[in-house]
Structure formats: C-alpha cells, structure tokens
Amino acid sequence: MPGALVLSLDLELHWGVRDHVTLDAPYAANLRGARDAIPAMLDTFAAYEAACTWATVGMLFARSRAELEAMHPARRPRYADARLDPYGEPVGDDEARDPMHFAPSLVARIAGTPRQEIATHTYSHYYCLEPGQDEAAFAADLDAAVASAALHGVHLRSIVYPRNQRNAAYDRLLRAAGIVAYRGQPRGWVHTPRGGGATTLPVRALRLAEAYAPAGPSYLVRWDEVAQPSGLCDVRASFFVRPVREGTAMHAIERARACLGCGARSCARRASGGSCTCGGTRTTSACGPKRTSRCCERCSTRSPSAASDTGWSRCRWPRWPTGRWRHTSRERVVDR
C-alpha cells in the first residue's frame, strides 16, 4: 500500500491563545500575519495540488456578533482556571471590525480551494482535559461546532483537539457527530495528552528537544495503526513545522531538519547551495526552491534491501542506525 503525506493546520487566530496573549502584545503581530499567510499557503497548495486539513475554531465561522452569540451553546465548560473561558472575551461586530475573532472570508477561501478540508478545532477552542469541563459541556460545544460549520456549508469529518487534549471518553460523541478522524499525538510519554497544569516547563523543553534531535523511529505511522478500536482514525502528528522568517538561522535549521528528516541527505547538503541537480520541478517539501519529493527520492542514498513492502525507504544517514524508519521520508511518495 502506498504511503501518504498528511498536512494539517490549525486556524484559530486569537481564540487559540487568548488566555495568555493580549491583542496589544508583540505576538499579536503573528496573529495578524495569518491573514496574509493563509491566502499565500492556499495559493501554494493549489499550485502544487497539495491537500491540507484546516482545523478551524467554530467561532471563526460567524459573520457577525449576533450570529456568533446565537450559535453559543447553553451548556458551557466551567474551567477551574477562569482565564480559559472564551465566552467573556470582548469581540467586535464583525470580521471587518474584529479580524482576530471572526474569519468567515478565510473559511470561504479555504473551502473554495481544491483539496482543502475544513475540520473542527472545536467550537470554542475547548480544553478536554482541564478541570471544570465535563462531557455534557463538550457535547454542547461539539453540537455548536457542527451547527456553525453547517451554516456555512461545511460538513465536519475530523477534529484537532486544542492543545492536543484528547479525551478518549468523548470518542463516542465524535462518532455520533459524524467525526471519523482526529489528529493524535506522537508516541512517547512526553507527548501524552495532559491538561495545561501538567504541561510543565520540563515537558515543553523535552518536546522541543525531541523536535530538533529526534531520538527514534516513532514518527512514522503504519496504516494498521491508524484505525482505532473506537471506530475513529488516529492520524498521528509527526513533524511540527514552526513558522520562521526566511533568511534567518532558524529558517536554515528548519529546512535542514525537514531534509534530514526525510533521509535526503544529498538535498540537505545542497540546501545552502541552491538548486538540485536531479531535475525536480515541484516543491512539496522544505528542501528548497527547485527540490521535489521525487527529487528527494533520487538524491537520497537508498538501500534496495531496506525498501519495504509499502514503498518506504530506510534512512542511511550515518547518525541514524540502519533499520530505523524516518518520518518525513513520506515526502517522496507524494507523487506516486
């Protein structure tokens, strides 16, 4: 069976960070930048025929404050940490006056771009593992998410949990709502879903360290691991790409990380030098402007004996022992 590359993005604007970022904070510039970045990404996805899932906060669908308030569920979570409650958030009248809390134009643009799926990031950026929330409140939030999406012609099929707080006890609610897939966490203790209070600084540091020095083969997901006993599909996260400014050291690091991650050491070596010599014409990875998934495949040193039944290759880059599966080698199967 061929492999697959799954791209997913969270569309949340201020709703995703409102508990710790105010709109006059420096970080708010990044939120405003999303309004330029999203159309640019959609153009790129369309140009390269790339599919992507956009996990969207349900409140962003609203065209006006009146519509927003009409969609609010009657039953709401009573978080022990009152800062997490989104319902007291001041909002403007509509998207023109408050582009950080309304985004129907972005939703419409995504929906109008081929191969783009709009998923839910819950209605209110709901925290499924926080003290004070309960099943009834989640059910109401889910109903509101489904209804707000349906009002705009969107049928929800998948979910990304805010802050990855998956609560397995709610699986049956998802199935009943027509949700078939969720974005799960990578394997390992450090990625175990936990409430905000338990996501301590050491846990965050370990997650960051693992992102830049991946320690094992755990990121590649086998097809037979996707379907869960609950009836849902766990589309596990494997490679978080951070937004970086082009030309900075972090940009070079992120690009090299992507190349090394896919086992294309030749591409990685050329990353600073410009074009690839093997004739690629499309860009589907961060390898560089003239590098392609097919290009990565041709560039990489590949052991014939390591080829698997599913078509994946094993990484032969010396730092990783032969036999370990590398995660973004999936890049090379995109064109198959």
Helix axes 201-212, 249-261, angle to 10 degrees: 70
- Are 8 and 119 within 8 A, CB to CB? yes
Q: State the residue number with the nearest CB to Zn ion.
A: 16
Sheet holding 52-56, edge to edge: 8-11, 52-56, 116-120, 158-159, 181-182, 233-234
Q: How far is the CB of 166 from Zn ion (least distance, A)?
A: 13
- Are 79 and 130 within 8 A, CB to CB? yes
Q: How far is the CB of 298 from Zn ion (least distance, A)?
A: 37
Please, which residues have CB within 8 angstroms of residue 282's CB and are 6 or more apart in sequence?
48, 292, 293, 294, 335
Structure tokens of 119? 């998923």
Q: How far is the CB of 243 from Zn ion (least distance, A)?
A: 14
Please say which residue, 122 or 285, places its beta carbon nearer to Zn ion: 122
Q: How far is the CB of 8 from Zn ion (least distance, A)?
A: 12
Please say which residue, 64 or 199, places its beta carbon nearer to Zn ion: 199
Residues that bind Zn ion (CB under 5 A): 10, 12, 16, 162
Q: How far is the CB of 160 from Zn ion (least distance, A)?
A: 7
Please say which residue, 3 or 162, places its beta carbon nearer to Zn ion: 162
Could you give the CA distance from residue 313 to residue 302 in angstroms, rounded to a whole number? Answer: 7
Please say which residue, 12 or 297, places its beta carbon nearer to Zn ion: 12
Could you give the CA distance from residue 136 to residue 275 in angstroms, rounded to a whole number? Answer: 55
Please say which residue, 56 or 300, places its beta carbon nearer to Zn ion: 56
